[in-house]
Amino acid sequence: MASLPVPQSSFYQGYQWPASNYNVAPWQDVWVNSGSPAVVPVQTEVSVADCSQSRAARRRRNRKSTTASLASVSTAASTGTPPSTPRRMPSGEVWQSPKCQSAADVLELLLGPSPKAAVTENQVPAHQACPPRRFPTGSLSLQDEGGVGPSATELGNCEEKSKEIIARLEAVGRDERAHLVQWLTKAAKPLSLTKFGTRIVQKALEVASCSDRDSLVAILEPHVEELCDSPHGNHVLSKIIEVMPSAALSFVVEKIAGKGPVVVAKHRFGCRVLERLIEHCDDVMIGAVVEEIVAKSRALCAHDFGNFVIQHLLEHWPSKRDTILQSMIPDLPMLAVNKSAAHVVQKAMDWCDEDSKKAIVVALLDGKSPHSLGEVACSRPGSYVVEQLQGISHRQSEVRQRIEERSEQLCQTQWGQKILECFGLPVPDAAPTNAKRK
């Protein structure tokens, strides 16, 4: 019978295995589910360093190797493929131990970078090499049409797909997020003008790195006026103002100034852009724009959209509060019953100083019919203004007396009854149960 193969180890070199009934070494004899013994190739190569291990450690290592080999053999048996037989060494031939590396080679290997780390740093994984072409739903997410980029019409009008892109922008790592932002930048304008695409661009502006954000803003910069007038694009322009440094917003301010600040303030969507500029920019950036708006504050107070801009100036620009209030004082009782201007009067009572609040009280008490204090309190907008007078101590007793004198008139409306209750005055019994609204 042929001699047994000698394991690849310098520890066993020169040892001649005795003849036996085994065809292979005993530890390689494995019983397979088929019922016949099968030979499992086992990793038997042992380095010089391994010889210093204890016998128990070598047994544990060999047991793990045998278990892995058994799994491969079981798979082969289940598929009907016969297990492979390890190559037999000719009789008399002795395995040569692999040449050990020199100490210098080992030291260089230990001090050098990890191969796994090198792949992570220098190579982008396959799934991040480019934006995935499909969504989890299976539909296409990228359609290359002459290098235009994503299909903005499909993506911007599909709520489900837009949510998937937004979720990925929030969840993925920095590298894949950069790829997604670069991919979206190609179609930033058409996406910004669609119902759901505007949300994607806003999220990209939030999570993008500084360089990617600058590239995205540069694509949108020539389209400021179109974005400002768009029901969807104005949100993207507002987000740009929020996330970019104020010093980098000169291109927005120039477009607003060129179009006319008052015109923009009266625009349904442009007023929102002005509000963001008022919140995030100082006098150096938008001083000239604010001056034009303040000069027309009396007319803007009663405008459906312009009143929001004046409210923001009262809240965020203390230096302009007195100027705005002085333009309103002569017509304050009339403005108090206007559905838009009443909000501006309330905002002025919230943010102006005590002297300005006293001036508001005096103007309301001096109002003549049809805008007397009692008549103002009977209207829905005016009732909120009069109710807020309760928090101002100046001439409080006179305000209460004026309201009490008009109690019969006030009890005829729902809002007048609310004012009587607010000032602790009795509601006459003759008051109707279903008060008429004005």
Q: What pLDDT shows up at residue 325?
A: 96
Q: What is the pLDDT of residue 36?
A: 43
Residue 100 has pLDDT above 60, yes or no: no
pLDDT attached to residue 117:
45
- Whether residue 202 has pLDDT greater than 50: yes
pLDDT > 70 in the chain, percent: 65
Both structure tokens of 276? 């963001």
Question: Which of the residue ranges 129-143, 208-222, 391-405 would you say has the lowest mean pLDDT?
Answer: 129-143
Over residues 235-239, the mean pLDDT reads 97
Mean pLDDT value of segment 42-58 = 56
pLDDT of 68 higher than 70: no
pLDDT at 148: 40
pLDDT at 144: 41
Angle at 242 between CA 238 and CA 243, to 5 degrees: 120
Residue 251, pLDDT above cutoff 90: yes
Could you tell me which of 361, 357, 351, 273 has the C-alpha nearest to residue 309?
273
H-only helix segments in 32-172: 55-78, 103-111, 115-122, 152-156, 159-171
CA distance 294 to 300: 9
Per-residue model confidence (pLDDT) at position 118: 44
Please name which of 335, 329, 385 lies closest in space to residue 362, comparing C-alpha atoms. 329
What integer is the mean pLDDT of 290-313? 97
Of residues 330, 329, 349, 339, the one with CA closest to residue 394: 349
Q: Which candidate, 237, 239, 238, places its Cα nearest to that of 207?
A: 239
pLDDT, tens digit (0-9, with 9 covering 90-100), for 166-180: 999 999 999 999 999
Which SS3 state, helix, strand or coil, does residue 38 take? Answer: strand
In this predicted structure, which of 28-37, 92-101, 184-193, 263-272 has the lowest mean pLDDT? 28-37
Q: Tell me what pLDDT residue 244 has.
A: 96
Query: Is residue 126 predicted with pLDDT exceeding 50?
Result: no
Q: Is 65 exposed, middle or buried (0-12, 13-18, 19+ CB in 10 A)?
A: middle
Residue type, 134: R
Number of other residues whose CB lies within 10 A of the CB of residue 368: 8
Over range 325-343, report the average pLDDT. 96
**From CA 394, how far away is CA 377, in angstroms rounded?**
18
Q: What is the pLDDT of residue 428?
A: 74
Task: Report the distance separating Cα 92 and Cα 396, nearest Å.
Answer: 118
Number of CB atoms found within 10 A of residue 253's CB: 19
- Which residue, among 351, 271, 270, 356, has the nearest Cα to 307 in the 3D structure? 271
- pLDDT greater than 70 at residue 51: no
CA distances from 81 to 73, 123, 152, 415 (A): 9, 38, 52, 90
pLDDT at 57: 74
Residue 294 has a pLDDT of 97
More confident residue, 25 or 231: 231
pLDDT at 41: 45
